[in-house]
Amino acid sequence: MTYQPSPERYKEMEYRRCGKSGLKLSALSLGLWHNFGHVNDFENSRNLIKTAFDHGITHFDLANNYGPPPGSAEENFGKILQQDFKGYRDEMVISTKAGYTMWDGPYGDWGSKKYLVSSLDQSLKRMNLDYADIFYHHRPDPETPIEETMTALDLIVRQGKALYVGLSNYRPAEAAEAIAILKQLGTPCLIHQPKYSMFERWPEDGLLDLLEQEGIGCIPFSPLAQGLLTDKYLHGIPSDSRVATSGVFLNEEHLTAEKLAKVSALNALAEQRGQKLAHMALSWLLRDKRITSVLIGSSKPEQILDSIKALENTTFSEGELETINTILR
Ligand SMILES: NC(=O)c1ccc[n+]([C@@H]2O[C@H](COP(=O)([O-])OP(=O)(O)OC[C@H]3O[C@@H](n4cnc5c(N)ncnc54)[C@H](OP(=O)(O)O)[C@@H]3O)[C@@H](O)[C@H]2O)c1
Could you tell me if the CB of 224 is within 6 A of ligand 1? yes
238-277, pLDDT tens digit by residue?
999 999 988 789 999 899 999 999 999 999 999 999 999 9
pLDDT band at residue 141 under the 50/70/90 scheme = very high
Mean pLDDT of the chain: 97
Pocket probe for ligand 1: among 29, 123, 169, 222, the residue whose CB has the most ligand atoms within 8 Å is 222
Instruction: List pLDDT tens digits, range 190-231.
Output: 999 999 999 999 999 999 999 999 999 999 999 999 999 999
Read off the DSSP letter of residue 61. E
Nearest-CA neighbor of 216 among 29, 24, 20, 25?
20
Q: Give the pLDDT of residue 280.
A: 98
Predicted pLDDT of residue 12: 87
CB of 162 closer than 6 angstroms to any ligand 1 atom: no
* Beta bridge mates, 25: 16
Give residue 186 CA to ligand 1 midpoint distance, Å: 33
- Phi-psi domain of 169 (left: phi exceeds 0; alpha: psi -120 through 50; beta: other): left
Q: Look at ligand 1, atom 29, and give the residue with the nearest C-alpha.
A: 303
> Looking at ligand 1, which atom is closest to the CA of residue 303?
31
User: Coil, helix or strand for 30?
Assistant: strand
Task: Give CA–CA dist 145/202, Å, rounded.
Answer: 25
| pLDDT score recorded for residue 273 | 97
Ligand 1 pocket residue status of 102, Cβ below 6 Å:
no
pLDDT exceeding 90 applies to what percent of the chain?
96
Report CA-CA distances (Å) from 287 to 184, 187, 313: 32, 29, 9
- Is the pLDDT score of 1 beyond 80? no
* C-alpha dihedral, 34 to 40 to 46 to 51, nearest 10°: -50
B/e letters for 228-245, b = 16+ CB within 10 Å, e = fewer, are bbbebbeeeeeeebbbee
Q: Does 297 sit in the ligand 1 pocket, CB within 6 Å?
A: yes
Tell me the percentage of the chain whose pLDDT exceeds 70.
Answer: 100
Pocket mutation for ligand 1, best pick of 141, 295, 308, 312 (most atoms within 8 Å of C-beta): 295
Nearest CA to ligand 1 atom 45: 31
pLDDT for position 95:
99
Closest protein CA for atom 4 of ligand 1: 221
As a whole number of angstroms, the distance between CA 40 and CA 297 comes to 14
Nearest to 23 by CA among 313, 292, 315: 292
* Ligand 1 center from residue 129 Cα (angstroms): 25
CB of residue 73 inside a 6 A radius of ligand 1: no
Q: What is the pLDDT of residue 122?
A: 98
Q: Determine whether the shortest distance from the Cβ of 126 to ligand 1 is under 6 A.
A: no
- Does 149 sit in the ligand 1 pocket, CB within 6 Å? no
- Rounded to an integer, what distance in angstroms lies between the CA atom of residue 1 and that of residue 96? 29
Per-residue confidence (pLDDT) for residue 247, from 0 to 100: 76
User: pTM for the whole thing?
Assistant: 0.98
Q: Are 168 and 193 contacting, i.e. CB atoms less than 8 angstroms apart?
A: yes
What pLDDT was estimated at residue 248? 84
Taking the C-alpha atoms of residue 209 and residue 203, their distance in angstroms, rounded to an integer, is: 9
- pLDDT tens track for 111-125: 999 999 999 999 999
- Strand, helix or coil at 137? strand
Q: Residue 44: what pLDDT?
A: 98
Query: Which atom of ligand 1 sits closest to the CA of residue 224?
Result: 20
Q: Is the CB of 306 under 6 A from ligand 1?
A: yes
Which residues neighbour 316 within 8 Å (Cβ) at sequence distance 6 or greater?
283, 284, 287, 324
* Sequence-distant (≥ 6) Cβ neighbours of residue 329 within 8 angstroms: none
